[in-house]
Amino acid sequence: MKRKLCEEFLQGDGINPKYDNVPKRVKNRKALQLCSQIMDILHLSLGQFGDDLLRNCYIKSVVPAPDSTQLLVTLISQDNPQEVFSHAQNASGLLRNEVANNISRKRVPQLKFQVVSS
């Protein structure tokens, strides 16, 4: 029994199937990997931190701002956002030192903070 040929060509006919669902590459993949790694480090560091306001915070996100030399850390807190922000600014050196001890990079990115109330 012979198969009948297609009567009309449709979009995608004649294209090799391995090229169908090629995922698009993310432009800043390495920067996003660094952000994820630093987010994990900061989660652990804030839990062991001596400041009760920062210990009660949750890290919502870490994103490049504008590139991977500076990272924007978004904190969620139930306390006063201004007070949590000032505590985070004061502790940024210690947190950056903790990040430097746990990642292998020549230069450690600057940490900028943003506090959102829950």
Q: From CA 41, how far away is CA 101, in angstroms rounded?
A: 10
* Domain annotation for the chain: domains and CATH numbers: 28-117 (3.30.300.20)
For residue range 26-72, what is the model confidence (pLDDT) as tens digits? 778 899 999 999 999 999 998 887 888 899 899 999 999 888 899 99
- pTM for the predicted model, two decimal places: 0.76
For residue range 67-110, what is the model confidence (pLDDT) as tens digits? 889 999 999 999 999 999 999 999 999 999 999 999 988 899 99
Residues 6+ apart with CB under 8 A from 38: 62, 71, 99, 103, 109
